[in-house]
Amino acid sequence: MVNVKQSQVYLLYGEESYLIQEHKNKIIEKTLKKEDREFNISQYDLEETPIEDVITDAETFPFLGEGKVVIANHPVFLKAKPDKLPFEHDTEVLLEYLQNPAEYTVLILVAPYEKLDERKKVFKQLKKNGEVISCQPVKEWDVDKWVQTLANDLHITVPPEIHELFTQEIGANLMALRKEMEKLALYVGEGGVVTREIAEQLLSHSAEASGLKLVDAVMEKDLGRAIRIYKDLEKLNEEPIALTALLASQFRIISQAKVLKQKGYGQNQMKSYIKAHPYVIKMALKRERAFTQQELDQIMNQLAETDYNLKQGKMEKALAFEMLLYRLINIKQNTPVSS
């Protein structure tokens, strides 16, 4: 999913470090032979080095081989409000270089910032004479594509029905997603298949994702699974009070989504009423079908009662939370799960 056009100057900007790294790697692969990379790649931090020093290096012939790559990180002069430094960058030198870049050098400016000031002369010149590549964080709804792409790169199979686990546990952090996928690839081997059990066992867990798993365990009336998830969270020092609040938050969004859906609201319209990420609303709509409004009201009452008891110290915390899980599943016990 990462492609780069041939150019002598690149600007990589955005907060997704994985995409920045991938683009840098692709540019280096296109520019230098493996044997030339050790001596012909230089890196600078523009918070410590003036841009004119970087340009001097860019204009200097390569030590060995036919080309070189010069990487300049943190071009603060591209921000709307540049950071104060103990020196000033002479951006005129860069502007001059951009009009006639050295044919033996590829210059890469790396700006790990959310926004740049596109009105600045330097930015406009970079866009005109170089290749400007946005490396912004991906959206949760695009994680599916990335799971598939990384699985193909690593020669493993991750069935579409478990892609949701990756979004729940890792979110849209591509660097973290790559590391987790590499871990799974190492476990199943080349050509291997990642099952739900393997993914649940090996993926690094977040509290919020575990909250969704608890919701699903209640939905599926699986007390044993709910208790196992809670015990795993207990090992991570997650407090029953915090977990009760997390469950309450998940069920509140599910309840709100159900009410709004019955009133004829679409997913996009719900964003104005439910203060949550669009992906969270999407998952709530997926889950609300499993509950009647009466069940959700009963669940919210149980959560409120447990929260009160925990805060008042009326019951031993771990026992109170396990009893809560039992009661929530008991509410579901006589209700078939909707398809």
Q: Are 282 and 267 in contact (CB under 8 A)?
A: yes
pLDDT on residue 339: 35
Q: Is the pTM of this model over 0.75?
A: no
Task: Dump pLDDT digits (tens) for 135-154.
Answer: 887 776 778 888 888 898 89
Task: Find, among 223, 201, 202, the residue nearest to 214 by Cα.
Answer: 223
3-state secondary structure string across 238-251: CCHHHHHHHHHHHH
Adjacent-strand bridge partners of 192:
none
Neighbours of 290 (CB within 10 A): 20
Q: Are 176 and 146 in contact (CB under 8 A)?
A: no
Chain-centre distance for alpha carbon 99: 37
Name the helix (H) or strand (E) containing 173: none
User: What amino acid is encoded at 49 in this protein?
Assistant: T
One DSSP character per residue, 17-58 reads HHHHHHHHHHHHHHH--GGGTTTSEEEEETTTS-HHHHHHHH
Low-confidence ranges of the chain (pLDDT < 50): 336-339
pLDDT on residue 77: 94
pLDDT on residue 6: 81
Domains annotated on the chain, with CATH:
9-134 (3.40.50.300), 140-202 (1.10.8.60), 207-332 (1.20.272.10)
Which residue blocks in the chain are alpha helix, DSSP H? 17-31, 51-59, 91-99, 121-129, 143-153, 163-170, 174-188, 196-202, 207-219, 223-235, 240-262, 267-270, 278-288, 293-312, 317-332
Tokens in use for 138? 């991906």
pLDDT on residue 333: 58
Q: How far is CA 199 from CA 83, 107, 109, 161, 229, in A?
A: 43, 41, 37, 12, 14
